[in-house]
């Protein structure tokens, strides 16, 4: 091999190494971006999990409030019906005993 061929080969190798270095740099940058994306997705997943738990908790609270309202309504309805029935029975007994 002549000195000129060696110089051409070295130049080609240097260009190839520079090109490879650029590709490695690009890959490292892409890897950093991918890691950042993975961290963001993980944070998003954790936030979603927290939101789902909070919605479940609020749903239970709403159900409890709705049930307490209906329980209160049933209580007062039963009380009124009991009072009315007691009054009617008392009136009927009083009328029966007076005869």
Segment 10-64, tens digit of pLDDT: 999 999 999 999 999 999 999 999 999 999 999 999 999 999 999 999 999 988 8
pLDDT at 74: 86
| Residues 47, 70: Cα–Cα separation, whole Å | 34
Structure confidence at residue 1 as a pLDDT band (50, 70, 90): confident
pLDDT at 85: 93
Cα angle, residue 65 at apex, residues 62 and 69 outer, rounded to 5°: 140
pLDDT at 49: 96
Q: Which residues are CB-contacts of 9 (< 8 A; sequence separation ≥ 6)?
A: 1
Question: pTM for this structure?
Answer: 0.53
pLDDT at 72: 84
Is the pLDDT reported for residue 3 higher than 90? no
């Amino acid at each position: 091999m002549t000195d000129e061929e060696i110089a051409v080969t070295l130049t080609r190798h240097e260009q190839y190494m520079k090109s490879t270095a650029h590709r490695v740099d690009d890959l490292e940058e892409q890897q950093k971006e991918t890691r950042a994306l993975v961290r963001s997705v993980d944070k998003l997943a954790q936030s979603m999990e927290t939101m789902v738990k909070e919605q479940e908790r609020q749903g239970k609270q709403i159900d409890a409030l709705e049930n307490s309202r209906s329980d209160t309504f049933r209580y007062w309805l039963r009380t009124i019906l009991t009072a009315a029935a007691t009054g009617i029975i008392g009136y009927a007994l009083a009328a029966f005993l007076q005869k």
